[in-house]
Each structure stands twice: as C-alpha cells, then as structure tokens.
Amino acid sequence: MSNRRVYEIARELSLDTKEVMRRLQDAGVEVKNHFAAVDDELYERVFGNGRKQNSPRGGKGSKKRRRVVIDASATSKPSRAAGGDRPAPAKKAEPEPEKERGDGVIRLEPGATVKDLADAAGVPPARVVKILFSLGEMKTQNQTLTEEEIELVAEELGVRVELTEAVDLSAPEPEVEDAPEDLIEKPPVVTVMGHVDHGKTSLLDKIRQTEVAAREAGGITQHIGAYQVESGGRKVTFIDTPGHEAFTEMRARGAKITDVVVLVVAADDGVMPQTEEAIEHARAAGVPIVVALNKIDVPNANPDMVMGQLAERGLTPEAWGGDTVTVPVSAKTGEGIEDLIENILIVAELEELKANPNAPASGYVIESQLDPGRGTVATLLLTRGTLHRGDIVLAGTSYGRVRAMMDYTGHRVEEAGPGMPVEILGLQGVPEAGTGFEVVEHERMARARAQQAEAALRRQELAQGGPTRRTLEDLLGQSGVKDLNLIVKADVAGSVEALRDALTRLSTDEVRVNIVRSGVGAINDADVKLGAASEGIVLGFNVRPTATAKQVAEREGVEIRTYGVIYQALEEIEAAMKGMLAPETAERETGVAEVRQTFRVPNVGTVAGCYVTEGEISRNDRVRVVRDGTVIYEGEVASLKRFKDDVRSVRQGFECGIGIENFNDVKEGDVLEFFRIVEVER
Ligand SMILES: Nc1nc2c(ncn2[C@@H]2O[C@H](COP(=O)(O)OP(=O)(O)OP(=O)(O)O)[C@@H](O)[C@H]2O)c(=O)[nH]1
C-alpha cells in the first residue's frame, strides 16, 4: 500500500490543496495539513471518479509532474528592452529581476530566497514565512527555498511559478565536444606519489629550484599548490602537494586533474606498501606512470633490485624491454631531473592532451584558504578555456568575480589558459580542494547556483543523519577504560613538546591519553580528518583552525579546542578526566510510543505520527527506536508536537508528532522508548 500526500494529490489532479482537504473532510476524514497522508483505498474512495474529470493533463506519471515549470529556455528569452520579437542582443545583460509576466506567472531562479519569492509575488516576506511555518517549515527572509517549498507557497498565494533553468551541479565541465580545430596542446598535470621518505617533497623542491635557477630573473616561487616548469619551450604543471592522499581526495570529489603520475621509489629502499598503493591509485584512475628512481647518489643504492621489484608489479622498465619509463634521479644532487621532465613530456605526448582555449574557463580548485587581508585565496587549475580577470567563477557553494589573478611566481596576470595554475582573489566562501569550477555569465546566476549547491549539501547531510559531534565530555563520558586521542597543534616547537609530554603524563588507569599527532602551525584539514578517523579531538595552543578545517570539523563532528596558556589546556583536560569519574549515571524510562504513520517534511526530515502507550514522554528525553525487538537507533528528540504546536510533554493515550535528531528512517510499527539519564550516588 502506498500513501499520497495531500499536496501530491492536488498536484496530480490539478486541484487546489484546500479543495483536496475539503473533499476529504466531506468524506469524513480529518486532515491536518498539506502533508497528511492518504492511503490508496481512501484515495480511490474519495477521488476515484473525479480523477478522470479533474485531470486535464491526464496520463499516468502525472503524480510526478510538477506544477513548477522548468523553463530551460528562459535565459534566451527576448529582451524586453529590445521590444517585439527581436532576439536578445548578443551581449547579454544581467537577467531581469524576477517578476510577474502579467499572466499571473512569476519567474524565479533555482535557489530563490523567501524574500525573492515574496518580492516576485508582491507580498510581504512575512507572509511567506507564515505560510512556511504553517507547513512546518521555519525559514527566515534570506534562506533559500526548495522547489517543493516554492510550489507549496505559490499555491497558497494563488500564483503560478516558473523556475528559470534547471542546473546540474554535478557537472563542472560542460558536456560539449570541442571541434578538433579548436584544440591546442595543453601542459600535462603531474602528481608525485610514493612511499614515505622516498623523496617526494625533495623531488618537487628540486624541480622547482632547477626552474628558478633556470629563469634569468630569478625570483622566488611561492606556494600556491601547483607550479609549472618549462623544457624545450613546453610546460609541465606539477601539483605541489605530494602523496596519494591529495590525489585520492581530489578523485573522490570527481576531479580528474592528473595526467601523469610520477612514482618516486628510493633506490636504496625499493617498493614499499605506499609504493604499491600509489600504483593501485594511478592504475584505478587510468593515469600513466613515470618511475623516478630516486636517491641514486646514496652508496647503497640498488637500482637493479628496485627495477626487478617494479617489473614484478607490471612496471617493467624500458631498459628491460618493458614499456615503463624509468628515470634514475637524485633529488639531492639534481642528477636526472632534466631527464625526468623530458620523459614526462614524452609520455604526455602519447596521451594527446589537448584543450580548447577559446571556451569559457572550467577546471578544478587545487587549494583554497581564507587570508585575513585578502579574503579567499584559491588556486585554480584550468582544464578548459581561458580565465580572465573580471570573470565570474562558480565553485560549488562559492562564487565571485575574479578581482586579481597571480601565476605561481606571484606575478599578476590578466588571463590564464588550459593546464595553468593560478591563484585568484574574489571568491566568497572557501571551496574545498577538488571542487570543480566554471565561469558563468551573470553574478545572479552564480549566486543562485551556489545557494542551490548549499541547499543540496544540507539535504545530503540531513539524509545522512548529519554528523554526530564528539566533544571532550562525550569521549570521556563513555564507560570502561577510555582512550583519549588528541591531535595537538601549537605555534612553536617548544610548546608542542611541552604539551605532548604534559598531556601524556595526565594518563590514569582509567583514561589513557594518546597523542595521535602533534605539530607546529595552524590546525588544518588533515588534523581534523585525523581527529575524525581516530575519534579524538584537536587541541590548539596559540593557533587557530583554518577556514576549511572549521568546515571539515563541522561536517565530521570533530571538536577543536583552542587555548592561549598551556596550563589552562592541561587543567581543562585534567578536570574533564576527573569530572567523568564523579557521578555515576543510570537510565530511567519515562514512556513508550508507537509509530502509527510517518511524514516527510522537507528540510526537517521524517516525522513520526505516534500514539503514547505508556507513561509520559517529554521533549528533553532521549529516545530509542525499537524495531522487531531490536534497538536500531538511540538519540535525542528533535521535535515534539501536538497538532501544529510544540509541546513539552505528551501523556499516555494521546497522539503526537515526533521528530528524532539525525534519524529519518523511522517506520510505521516502530516502538519508541523514552528515557532520561539520571545521576546516582557512586
Ligand atoms: N641522499 C639523498 N637523500 C634524499 C634524496 N631525496 C630525498 N632525500 C632525503 O630523504 C629524506 C626524505 O625525503 P622527503 O623529500 O621528505 O620524502 P617524502 O617522500 O616527501 O616524505 P614524506 O613527505 O614524509 O612522505 C630527506 O631526509 C631527504 O633529504 C636523494 O635523492 N638523495
């Protein structure tokens, strides 16, 4: 049996929701709001006949049909200024603000806010807020609306809405095939991978130094996440963050950036676990491998042994009749570096790496951070087209006009072509590494799409139940012997040492303090990710988290605590450790409810329509979801309502609506047990 919502029926039958509710009421059924569910039998009974007459659009699939019309042609509509039916002028002006077209239809861009809708419909924003509220949605003027919300509110207001242009956020690169004659050769993009200590960083440094030395003017290259070197008039772009972590992370976000992988293998150490992992990653991505046989200067270097190991893994060197380009190098002396670059170019040539420079620019974000003086500083790597200063860039939830653009030497540039890394200023928000970007024509469109991406992200988080935040107290509140995993960052090495030692000494029989990582510098993404992986927390002493680290912490539910004085950090951790030993706790059951129906409320999640069978349940209780005798979830009550009103508690024998924090999978027939944690004497 399937359920339809009131608004779905209205949509399906092209009726007003009020009319649907009236008919249900006439049939003796109490309906509370647009989201009330109507089962098949009731639907047939009430609307069985009317469906045919009432459905001018008829057809099956009409249940899915949206009243919101996606009008993909909207951006090319004839300009009003031009009058008549003259086509829009070639130079596109900012699109006109949303407005009524005189036929009762208003146009809105996806990602429209409450205010946008209110303005377009000519009503005060408060009216829209009120309608949303009656639908169980709490929104302020500047919050974006989902398509469904726009539709429902429009219906209440008695206006029809057309959404201009549907946007696919998942495809940063336009799906256009460039004509062969438009393509020019683009520099290969290289990522350096290999086992720890085999010399990835040294090699990248050496390559860059060689380049600096080669350039007459000298000058210092600055770290922007990528740089270029030139050989025989051709350029190679190196991603400046070594390691397969960066590579996989980018790939995980769908970024196909790397054209060639340089696999660094130390000639004195050979193939190691991370070498194998790197080989797997490169193969999985279908990226050709060039082997840099490093440290050939060390006395115990054994290139033959290493080449044998590589051959065993399908990377037979050319010298041995295979087809893997293997270049002996020394990142220390610089020997073989030129050779390596030339070989990278040869391998790249076989890949026929080409791009159209005359297209609107698109590519990927390599790095980004918030600079106190300059705002968001992002490094972009172009895969197609040419980026100009003044262009409007959209990268996931960030967007903005390119205020300034610098190449990796720090020189200002006016434009950048395919394969080139550039640092740009002007974005709002800090996009994550690996996010695709593209140039869009209008700032309004960029804003709308960024907001849409933001909303999609929030929906995703909601669907995944959101992060469960682990605080110091939570970690220490668990029973049994506890491991307190800490990531410690400080401004100077001395403090790191001091903190590490002092914190470790805090360990007791019941709580073991483990310093998972410690280091100097700001708290970055990697620190937070490690915090998440080790279920620990991050401590900062005189350092702050970067903007992206904050975002990651938020997303992953990792606590970051920052201090200015060492003893304060120690005292707090020690107090927390002791605190948890103070009272013992026990559970006290308060009530039981049965789930009789479930409702999906946009942006809120699933709400369970319940009947309280025992005791008295309260908004502040914890709740356990029991299905067929098995506890499937335990968490907090997010909302407790009687009809439309929030209530503090509901007694046995009454119905209510219950939302469960971070849990949307509640089903009809589930039993909800409510309880409270109370303190008892030890
Ligand atoms: N003799 C010699 N030493 C090298 C060479 N390349 C790197 N080293 C040394 O090897 C050590 C590790 O080099 P890194 O460049 O830090 O290695 P890595 O692979 O980047 O290491 P992680 O960043 O920790 O993964 C350093 O002490 C380097 O000085 C080389 O060609 N010859």
197 lines ligand 1 (CB under 6 A): yes
* Residue 31 confidence class, pLDDT cut points 50, 70, 90: confident
Residue at 339 is within a domain: yes
Which residues belong to the annotated binding site for GTP?
194-201, 240-244, 294-297
pLDDT value at 54 more than 90: no
Ligand 1 site, residue 196, Cβ cutoff 6 A:
yes
Q: What burial class does residue 93 get, using C-beta atoms within 10 Å of its C-beta: 0-12 exposed, 13-18 middle, 19+ buried?
A: exposed
Are the C-beta atoms of residues 624 and 661 closer than 8 Å to each other?
Answer: no
How many Å is the Cα radius of gyration of the chain?
30
Instruction: Output DSSP code: residue 360.
Output: B
Residues 621 and 671 in one domain: yes
From 192, 197, 268, the mutation candidate for ligand 1 (largest count of ligand atoms within 8 A of CB) is 197
Instruction: Give the residue from 309, 337, 354 where a domain finishes.
Output: 354
Q: Which atom of ligand 1 is nearest to the CA of 202?
A: 15
Ligand 1 atom nearest to 274, measured from its CA: 25
| pLDDT bucket at 27, cuts 50 / 70 / 90 | confident
How is residue 542 written in tokens? 């005189």
Q: Decide if 602 contacts 150 (C-beta within 8 A).
A: no
Q: Which residue has the least CA distance to atom 7 on ligand 1? A: 199
Look at residue 303 in the predicted model and tell me its pLDDT: 94
> Per this entry, what is the length of the chain?
682
Say yes or no: CB of residue 274 within 6 Å of ligand 1: no
Structural domain contains residue 72:
no
**Do residue 192 and residue 292 come from a single domain?**
yes
221 CB near ligand 1 (under 6 Å): no
- Verify that 431 and 372 share a domain, yes or no: yes
Q: What is the CATH number of the domain that holds 291?
A: 3.40.50.300
Predicted pLDDT of residue 103: 58
Q: What is the pTM of this model?
A: 0.51
Please give the pLDDT value at position 528.
Answer: 87
Secondary element (H or E) of residue 405: strand 404-406
565 and 601 fall within a common domain: no
User: What is the distance, to the nearest Å, from the Cα of residue 130 to the centroid of all Cα atoms in its chain?
Assistant: 31
Residue 259: inside a domain, yes or no? yes
Ligand 1 centroid from CA 362, angstroms: 35
Indicate whether residue 245 lines ligand 1 (CB < 6 A). no
The answer to whether residue 336 scores a pLDDT higher than 90 is yes
Confirm if 330 and 299 have CB atoms less than 8 A apart: no
Residue 124 maps to which CATH number? Answer: 1.10.10.2480
Could you write out the three-class secondary structure of 27-91? CCCCCCCCCCEEEHHHHHHHHCCHHHHHCCCCCCCCCCCCCCEEEHHHHHCCCCCCCCCCCCCCC
Mean pLDDT of all residues in the chain?
79
Q: Distance between CA 272 and CA 446 in Å, rounded?
A: 46
Q: What are phi and psi of 558, to 5 degrees?
A: -100, 135
Do 241 and 227 fall into the same domain? yes
pLDDT-derived band at 84, boundaries 50, 70, 90: very low
Secondary structure of 111-167 in the HEC alphabet?
CCEHHHHHHHHCCCHHHHHHHHHHCCCCCCCCCECCHHHHHHHHHHHCCEEEEECCC
**Is 70 near ligand 1, meaning CB less than 6 Å away?**
no
Q: Is residue 294 in contact with ligand 1, taking CB distance under 6 Å?
A: yes
Percent of the chain with pLDDT over 90: 26
Q: What is the CATH classification number for the domain harbouring 560?
A: 3.40.50.10050
Q: List binding-site positions.
A: 194-201, 240-244, 294-297
- How many whole angstroms from 198 Cα to the centroid of ligand 1? 5
Asked if residue 297 has its Cβ within 6 Å of ligand 1, the reply is yes
pLDDT tens profile 639-649: 999 888 889 99
The answer to whether position 467 is within a domain reads: no
Q: What is the pLDDT of residue 90?
A: 35
Cα 432 from Cα 440, distance rounded (Å): 19
d(CA 48, CA 8): 15
Q: What is the pLDDT of residues 472-495, one digit of tens each?
A: 666 665 555 567 888 898 888 778
For residue 180, being part of any structural domain is answered with no
The H or E element spanning position 25 is: helix 17-26
Rounded Cα distance between 413 and 630, Å, is 63
Number of domains present in the structure of the chain: 6
Burial class (CB in 10 A: 0-12, 13-18, 19+), 267: buried
Query: Does the Cβ of 199 fall within 6 Å of ligand 1?
Result: yes
Can you tell me the distance from the alpha carbon of 400 to that of 376, in angstroms, rounded to the nearest whole number? 10
Question: Which residue lies with its CA nearest to atom 25 of ligand 1?
Answer: 196
Pairing of strands 436-440, 362-371: antiparallel
Give a yes or no: residue 280 inside a domain: yes
* Token reading at 354: 């080409």
**Pairing assessment for the beta strands 189-194 and 260-266 based on DSSP bridges:** parallel
**Does ligand 1 have an atom closer than 6 angstroms to the CB of 295?**
yes
Give 201 Cα–ligand 1 centroid separation in angstroms. 7
Residue after which a domain boundary falls, among 324, 354, 384: 354
| Distance (Å, whole) CA 255 – CA 418 | 15
- Give residues with Cβ within 8 angstroms of 252, minimum separation 6: 434
Domain range enclosing 441: 362-461
State residue 138 phi and psi, 5-degree precision.
Answer: -105, 115
End-to-end CA separation in angstroms for the chain: 52
> For ligand 1, is residue 331 a contact (CB within 6 Å)?
yes
Nearest atom of ligand 1 to the alpha carbon of 298: 1
Neighbours of 485 (CB within 10 A): 20
Task: Write the DSSP string, 412-467.
Answer: B-SEE-TT-EEEEEEEBS-PPTT-EEEEES-HHHHHHHHHHHHHHHHHHHHHTT-P
- Please give, one letter per residue, the 3-state secondary structure of 508-571: CCCEEEEEEEEEECCECHHHHHHHHHCCCEEEEECCCECHHHHHHHHHHCECEEEECCHHHHHH
Take residue 127 and report the two structure tokens written for it: 């009216």
Mean pLDDT of 178-184: 81
pLDDT for 60 equals 35
What's the 380 CA to ligand 1 centre distance in angstroms? 28
Query: What's 673's domain CATH number?
Result: 2.40.30.10
Given a contact cutoff of 8 angstroms between Cβ atoms, the answer to whether 169 and 456 are in contact is yes
Between the CA of 266 and the centroid of ligand 1 the distance, in Å, is 9
Looking at 550, 580, 610, which one is the last position of a domain?
Answer: 580
Query: What is the band of 308 on the pLDDT scale with cuts at 50, 70, 90?
Result: very high
Give the burial string for 361-381 (b: 16+ CB within 10 Å, else e).
bbbbbbbbbbeeeeebbbbbb
Residue 92 confidence (pLDDT) above 70: no
User: Per the domain annotation, does 607 fall within a domain?
Assistant: yes
pLDDT digits (tens, 9 = 90+) for 413-426: 999 999 999 999 99
For the Cβ of 332 lying below 6 angstroms from any atom of ligand 1, the answer is yes
Does the pLDDT at position 169 exceed 70? Answer: no
Distances (CA, A) of 277 to 190, 258, 284, 430: 17, 16, 10, 30
- Reply yes or no on whether the pLDDT at 394 is more than 60: yes
| Highest mean pLDDT (candidates 84-98, 198-212, 411-425, 527-541) | 411-425
pLDDT of residue 222: 58
- Four-point Cα dihedral 215, 217, 218, 223, nearest 10: -80
Partners of 534 in the β-ladder = none
| Residues 569 and 489 placed together within one structural domain of the fold | yes
70 against 290, higher pLDDT: 290
What lies within 8 Å, CB to CB, of 441 at 6+ separation is: 92, 392
Residue 77 domain-assigned (yes or no): no
Question: For the segment 575-633, what is each residue's pLDDT rounded down to a tens digit?
Answer: 777 754 444 556 788 999 999 999 888 877 899 999 999 899 999 999 989 887 777 88
In sequence order, the 6+-apart residues with CB closer than 8 A to the CB of 417 are: 186, 357, 382, 385, 386
Pair 437, 518 in one domain: no
Sequence-distant (≥ 6) Cβ neighbours of residue 246 within 8 angstroms: 191, 239, 433
Q: What is the pLDDT of residue 421?
A: 94
- How far is ligand 1, taken at its centre, from the CA of residue 253, in Å? 29
Number of other residues whose CB lies within 10 A of the CB of residue 661: 16
Q: What is the mean pLDDT of residues 332-342?
A: 94
Q: Do residues 374 and 403 make contact, with C-beta atoms less than 8 angstroms apart? A: no
Looking at the structure, do residues 396 and 272 belong to the same domain, yes or no? Answer: no
Closest Cα to atom 30 of ligand 1:
295
| 329 CA closest ligand 1 atom index | 31
Answer yes or no: do 202 and 313 share one domain. yes
Do 326 and 190 share a domain, yes or no?
yes
Contact of 637 with 658, CB cutoff 8 Å: yes
Mutate to test the pocket of ligand 1, among 195, 201, 202, 517 (most ligand atoms within 8 A of CB): 202
Ligand 1, atom 32: nearest CA belongs to which residue?
295
Q: For residues 418 and 17, which has the higher predicted lDDT (pLDDT)?
A: 418
Are the CB atoms for 150 and 163 separated by under 8 Å? yes
| 412 phi/psi in degrees, rounded to 5 | -70, 140
Q: Are residues 336 and 376 in the same domain?
A: no
- How far is Cα of residue 288 from the mean position of the Cα atoms in its chain? 29
State the closest ligand 1 atom to the C-alpha of 205, by its place in the atom list counted from 1. 15
Cβ of 202 below 6 Å from ligand 1:
yes
Question: From ligand 1's centre to the CA of 602, what distance in Å?
Answer: 53
For the Cβ of 330 lying below 6 angstroms from any atom of ligand 1, the answer is yes
Instruction: Verify that 506 and 563 share a domain, yes or no.
Output: yes
Is residue 201 in contact with ligand 1, taking CB distance under 6 Å? yes
Highest mean pLDDT among 184-188, 247-251, 257-261, 300-304: 300-304
Distance CA 653, CA 641 (A): 15
